[in-house]
Structure 1
């Protein structure tokens, strides 16, 4: 599957006349609780030729599959963001983009652009913005959850991961790691709650994610309490003060020059 993904990425480069700077796995495979039927959620950041940026018209800054003449595996979901779009979202401390940068599964990494963004993360990371994002995600999923007496195994992870991520931000003031297991063990440490989550994790990994079971009261109580508590924490957090635009502009210009000046030698 990895080879198929890389072949599709190269075909995207050729068809759209771009350079892919970074491509990774997102979603459950990056988070460490995928099953054999989980999708491959491939996300990438790309850069156009210089001429593309010298236009009076705003152009599309997202690439979505399907690609002409590139049949995809049925489990493959793939799309990308143009580099300046990615940098604008990075400036806002966008959690989705930060999750891409923290993915343990990387398919392409060109010109160390992602490494340079990671080095700048401390200057753009906003605990307030990210905590609000994860809190809103948890609340939205939990509202849906309340209407059902029975729940799929994977539905619990849709609620638990953002809650644990919010706890990590509160505890460390940094962006949470990708691994769900690392989050659970760090935040919950030990006890019956962690045991219950590990039981669900085993079911998820064994392919039982679509199985329906009755709601688990120990997890329900934990989620309700943490959502309420994190709401109070979020009210106290301050947004980042300094504007990182100058250094992000520099990164874009340097990468744009490098991508096309040396592309014939490297690709």
Structure 2
């Protein structure tokens, strides 16, 4: 992937060490348009004096810049606040990482539970509400609906985080996904659906929600995470070093 040089510049300018930085959004999901923003996500490490003192550091840092006509958005969270945001952590599009990143990935496997399904239920519902409000229906929210539901189902069934819709559809074989992605790639971020049958997609939305519910019920994933001690040890080592 050819990336704007400004991305590395922005990463290097961050005030705290970054445990990792990855690409999220449409680039991760498999349907970036030529005008897609670069959505960067990551984890920063606050030093001890920014945690236990009166003048504490920011648990969340958000930066939005336009460089060379490209919109770049970077959001990072302190490790204590949001240490295992799964899709960001397991993104194959890693731009920067410390050696402990691999350790965190290993530990995070023991943080995956059946209840991560709630995130996907909620995200899909939010996107579907956007679709219902629109008179002219955009491609992007509909792709997001299918992406999050398939990611959730696959996670419940396998314990593996897969956010790329193209790869997910190699498993689920939904016949309309390829056409929707083609429309998005050809038309850009704000492209509208052509010859859309919203009633059909509403039935598919409900069918996949039901399948996610069934996958949650049948999932062999644990009820609660069991990695607290390992995460605590990792966080202490990173804080002390920072």
Same fold (TM > 0.5): yes
Say if 2:212 is the partner of 1:230.
Answer: yes
Give the alignment of 1:170-181 within 5 angstroms.
Answer: 170-172=156-158, 174-181=159-166
Structure 1 unaligned spans of 5+? 91-96, 261-267
Contact 1:154 1:210 (8 Å CA) reproduced: yes
Change (3 A) 1:207 1:243: same
Say if 2:108 is the partner of 1:121.
Answer: yes
1:46 Cα deviation from its structure 2 partner: 1.4
SS in 2 for 1:151: coil
Say if 2:109 is the partner of 1:107.
Answer: no
Contact 1:22 1:113 (8 Å CA) reproduced: no
SS in 1 for 2:103: helix
**What TM-score do you get using the length of structure 2 for normalisation?**
0.85
Q: Deviation digits for residues 22-51 of structure 1, max 9, x if unmatched?
A: 111111111121011000001121113332
Give the alignment of 1:64-79 within 5 angstroms.
Answer: 64-65=62-63, 72-73=67-68, 74-79=70-75
**What TM-score do you get using the length of structure 1 for normalisation?**
0.78
State how many pairs are aligned: 236
Structure 2 unaligned spans of 5+? none
Of residues 77, 80, 86 in structure 1, which corresponds to 2:76? 80
RMSD between aligned alpha carbons?
2.5
**1:245 maps to which residue?**
228
Change (3 A) 1:7 1:166: same
**1:265 maps to which residue?**
none
Of residues 183, 186, 197 in structure 2, which corresponds to 1:203? 183
Say if 2:30 is the partner of 1:49.
Answer: no
**1:161 maps to which residue?**
147
Output the CA distance in 2 between the equivalents of 1:35 and 1:170.
29
Output the CA distance in 2 between the equivalents of 1:206 and 1:6.
28
